[in-house]
Amino acid sequence: MASKTAKTSADTAPKSEGPVLLSGGNPQIPKGYGDAPVQAYIEAMPGWKHDVGRRLDTLIDETVPAVKKAVKWNSPFYGIDDQGWFLSYHCFTKYVKVTFFRGRSLQPMPLGESRHQDVRYLDIREDEPFDEAQFVDWVKQASRLPGEKL
């Protein structure tokens, strides 16, 4: 007869799991306003995307000191109080997609097209250079435009 071993508290304790990763590795973070939910999203971004999220957040903070933040639809949003949201990003399998809500008004215009008339995208991939100076310039421009009221 096989003997049963007693379960230890480590065996029965609930496992501490991080946020669920959705399709493409996008973190599922509850909707929330302020820096804390955005930081939770960034911490949950998988692999190399975590460093991209941290860098995007830092560049946006440095460029727009009065930026407001939120997580909506499992994506970080950045905006200005009276103007609305000007930028968001989202994890996909092979890239992080940055959304400029008034991207058609940016000069030069980001290359990623959208079915939405005003929106343009910037896809950041692991093995491709990321032009931080251009990104900062777009953030400056975007933060001065009327944003989305989502």
Question: Does the pLDDT at position 53 exceed 50?
Answer: yes
CATH number of 22-143: 3.90.1150.200
CA dihedral 33, 37, 38, 40 (to 10 degrees): 180
- Per-residue pLDDT, 62: 98
> Is pLDDT larger for residue 21 or for residue 90?
90
Residues 4 and 77: their CA atoms lie apart, in Å, by 53
pLDDT tens, position by position, 116-145 = 999 999 999 999 999 999 999 999 999 999
Other CB atoms within 10 Å distance of the CB of residue 44: 20
- Per-residue pLDDT, 67: 98
Sequence-separated contacts (24+) of 8-13 with Cβ below 8 Å: none
Task: Give strand pairing partners of 88.
Answer: 77, 99
Model pTM score = 0.85
At 17, the pLDDT band (50, 70, 90 cuts) reads low
- Per-residue pLDDT, 10: 39
